Amino acid sequence: MGFADLSIAEIAAEYELPTQDVCNLCEQMGIAYKNQQTRLALEDAKAVISKILSKKQT
């Protein structure tokens, strides 16, 4: 599995969300992380971003 060059904090900033919201999404989806600077696996980053985008559309 490859790694995206995105940390939890960077994803939060990109989508204008609190970092804790992205951490909560990771926890709900079973994605392991150590802190907000954790770089996510490519598939995990895609899943988190997809979830964020689907919530913004509702």
pLDDT confidence of residue 56: 83
Supply angle C-alpha 21, 52, 45, rounded to 5.
90
Round to whole Å and give the CA distance between 53 and 42. Answer: 16
User: In Å, what is the CA distance from 7 to each residue of 31, 40, 57?
Assistant: 13, 6, 23
Q: How confident is the model at residue 1 (pLDDT cuts 50, 70, 90)?
A: low
pLDDT confidence of residue 23: 97
Q: What is the dihedral of CA 44, 45, 48, 53, to 10 degrees?
A: -140
Per residue in 4-49, pLDDT tens? Answer: 789 999 999 999 999 999 999 999 999 999 999 999 999 999 999 9
Per residue in 9-21, pLDDT tens? Answer: 999 999 999 999 9
